[in-house]
Amino acid sequence: MIRLVLFGRQGAGKGTQAVMLSEHYKAPHISTGDMLREAVAEGTAVGQKVMAILDAGELVPDETMLEVIHDRLAHDDVEQHGFLLDGFPRTVGQAKSLLKIATVDLGVNLEVPERLVLERISSRRVCQQGHIYSVNDDAAREGVCPIDSTLVEQRDDDTPEAVTARLDAYKMKTAVAMAYFDSQGLLLSVDGVGEPEAVFRRLVEAIDARLDHDDRW
Ligand code: ADP
């Protein structure tokens, strides 16, 4: 069982790699962005609270996030198979809280320069279940996800203004959360530039080498 946190700026390919890593390590993929968008779509109490924040590309308050993550980590699948956290923690407060409520084997920073991610985000399309495509893929052109047949569209928060706000939050807040993980000896940086398959192989190799070395499992 593995308990990983995946860091990486918007458009770094974090969501795509998280799906592949979750299959590889047989650990549940927990994407707080997907969970919040689902809450918005379902109109739950949390959803109503966070809808405007998401659309603006701002961060949901730590307190709300901690409730969401606390509930999710209490599920049986996490106890049995660990987790692959995608999108949490995003602030140093969240990072400290997470390390209090759960054991984390490693945080992985998927590194992609900012100038490369802007283009990726503007061409990103997603289905309602979170499968990710590029504007030129058949799925995006047809507007239907080949995996689950839901609608493929641009995310509401992939507008230039919201993207800029998210990248700013990343620089100001999430970078500090990562630095905290580093100070706890829990951070590994991996080059995220390249084809998804190549990046995936690089990630698995680096993660396995580090965890074997640490002898954590
Ligand atoms: P991205 O990485 O492209 O910003 P996500 O799908 O991870 O996209 O998150 C979408 C939005 O959900 C964020 O802009 C933010 O408003 C909210 N969100 C997700 N995770 C967190 C978190 N840990 N703390 C605060 N807000 C969050």
Provide the pLDDT for residue 212.
Answer: 85
Provide the pLDDT for residue 119.
Answer: 84
pLDDT in tens, 15-24: 999 999 999 9
Distance CA 22, CA 17 (A): 8
CA-closest residue to ligand 1 atom 3: 10
Provide the pLDDT for residue 120.
Answer: 86
Percent of the chain with pLDDT over 70: 98
CA-closest residue to ligand 1 atom 12: 33
Helix (H, G, I), strand (E, B) or coil at 19: helix
pLDDT in tens, 5-63: 999 999 899 999 999 999 999 999 999 999 999 999 999 999 999 999 999 999 999 99
pLDDT in tens, 68-94: 999 999 999 999 999 999 999 999 999
Residue 36: which of 2, 65, 66 has the closest Cα?
A: 65
Question: Is residue 198 exposed (0-12), middle (13-18) or buried (19+ Cβ within 10 Å)?
Answer: exposed
Is the pLDDT at 217 greater than 60, yes or no?
Answer: no
As annotated, the active-site residues are 14, 90, 124, 155, 166
- CA 94, 186, 121, 164 torsion-angle sign: positive
Q: Which two tokens stand for residue 117?
A: 């991610």
Q: Is the pTM of this model over 0.75?
A: yes
Distance CA 5, CA 18 (A): 9
- Asked whether 124 lines ligand 1 (CB < 6 A), one says no
Distance CA 192, CA 201 (A): 11
CA separation, residue 185 to residues 113, 179, 205, 211 (Å): 23, 10, 19, 12
* CB 56, CB 156: distance < 8 Å: no
Give me the domains of the chain, ranges plus CATH numbers.
2-112+174-216 (3.40.50.300)
| Partners of 125 in the β-ladder | 133
* CB 17, CB 200: distance < 8 Å: yes
pLDDT tier for residue 199 given thresholds of 50, 70 and 90? very high
* CB 106, CB 188: distance < 8 Å: yes
Contacts of 4 (CB under 8 A, 6+ apart): 21, 25, 27, 82, 83, 84, 85, 104, 105, 106, 107, 108, 207
Is the pLDDT at 186 greater than 60, yes or no?
Answer: yes
16, 29, 40, 59, best to mutate for ligand 1 pocket (most atoms within 8 Å of CB): 59
Distance CA 188, CA 204 (A): 12
User: Bigger pLDDT: 4 or 214?
Assistant: 4
Provide the pLDDT for residue 9.
Answer: 93
pLDDT tier for residue 215 given thresholds of 50, 70 and 90? low
What value does the mean pLDDT take over residues 186-197? 96
pLDDT in tens, 146-174: 999 999 999 989 988 999 999 999 999 99
pLDDT in tens, 116-148: 888 889 899 999 998 999 999 999 999 999 999
pLDDT tier for residue 115 given thresholds of 50, 70 and 90? confident
